[in-house]
Amino acid sequence: MSAAQPLLAVRDLHTHFFTRLGVVRAVDGVSFTVGRGEVLGLVGESGSGKTVTGFSILGLVDPPGRIAGGRILFEGVDLTRLPEARLRELRGERIAMIFQDPMMTLNPVLRIETQMVEAIRAHHPEVAAAEARRRARDGLARVGIPAAEERLAAYPHQFSGGMRQRVAIAIALLNRPALLIADEPTTALDVTIQAQILHEVRRLCAESGTALVWITHDLAVVGGLADRVAVMYAGRIVEEGPVDAVLDHPLHPYAKGLIGSVPSRNRRGAPLQQIPGMTPSPLRLPAGCSFRTRCERADGECREMPELMSVPARHLVRCFHPHLEAAS
């Protein structure tokens, strides 16, 4: 493996859902890379395909959905061609996921200890039970759960929402994965608890060199966490670049509108910028650029699908009429 090879390279990924009403192209030609130890924020609104992208990487897309094309190269191996048994070996070991609802991870009828020890020994049967238990306890302590020794014996319902999410994170990090995919894990949490979790995840990933893909609708969270940002709209990445470039000088009209619609300190009371209309139904996307029906810059040219173009260095945008004046 060459040093220049990224940890994860998603290439032209297509994940489609074959429904009775037609084919939903939830992910339609998504490409991005994540380097070792890097934090990528994957941002989009409901229906943009950000969660399906995350699920595709782990091979968790259920029928009627399936990966219809493209490659997902993890450490050079194409995950889309891997048999299920090999994928299971990777999941929870080299690649882990935390979900919006921690009960996606946790089994409600098993003690935390049972679940954590199983997560270790499923991948490392050579680890003795006592040693696995010790690792589980240390894992809980690392994510800031007080009295970790006693809490091992508890059931998930005995934890608060924030604590449950910590347990799910502890389980995800047990085997020191190279890649962690986090799907809106703090959306349901209160501000002070969200701040704690963001702080812990960032610290833990930095300590263990774990790369992080943080999927969210919350641009402000991404600003505090990510090195790079990719903005998705209707199944495609429309803009990607370093976090400062994207948030301070968005190029795509959608990204610019999204950032302008977040209330911010210096425009108090003034009307917020708003994007007209709503996300079109995935079954009836306009031909060409999917944003053109809501875009003030759209013209005839936009009936063609623009490619993701590198405008300034390292800053990609999928638009014929990007806001270049802002970037200069």
Binding site for another protein (CB under 8 A): 45-46, 160, 162-163, 190-196, 198-199, 202-203, 217-221, 223-227, 243-244, 247, 257-265, 267-269, 271-275, 278-279
76 vs 224 by CB, closer to another protein: 224
Q: Which residues contact 31 (CB under 8 A, 6 or more apart)?
A: 10, 11, 12, 13, 70, 237, 308
130 vs 191 by CB, closer to another protein: 191
From the CB of 220, what's the least distance to another protein, in Å? 4
User: What residues does 66 pair with on adjacent strands?
Assistant: 16
From the CB of 198, what's the least distance to another protein, in Å? 8
From the CB of 184, what's the least distance to another protein, in Å? 13
Q: How many whole angstroms separate alpha carbon 106 and alpha carbon 157?
A: 10
Cβ atoms of 160 and 192 closer than 8 Å: no
Cβ atoms of 34 and 176 closer than 8 Å: no
From the CB of 159, what's the least distance to another protein, in Å? 10
Residue 275 carries which DSSP code? -
Q: How many whole angstroms separate alpha carbon 170 and alpha carbon 159?
A: 14
From the CB of 193, what's the least distance to another protein, in Å? 7
Tokens of 20: 């009775």
Nearest to 141 by CA among 114, 175, 167, 108: 167
122 vs 193 by CB, closer to another protein: 193
Q: How many whole angstroms separate alpha carbon 107 and alpha carbon 109?
A: 6
Q: Which strands make up the sheet holding 8-19, listed edge to edge?
A: 22-34, 8-19, 65-74, 77-78
From the CB of 234, what's the least distance to another protein, in Å? 13
13 vs 275 by CB, closer to another protein: 275
**Distance in Å from the first CA to the final CA of the chain:** 38
Tell me the longest C-alpha to C-alpha distance in the chain. Answer: 67
5 vs 281 by CB, closer to another protein: 281
From the CB of 49, what's the least distance to another protein, in Å? 14
56 vs 196 by CB, closer to another protein: 196
CA 98 to chain centre: 9
132 vs 229 by CB, closer to another protein: 229
Q: How many whole angstroms separate alpha carbon 71 and alpha carbon 272?
A: 40
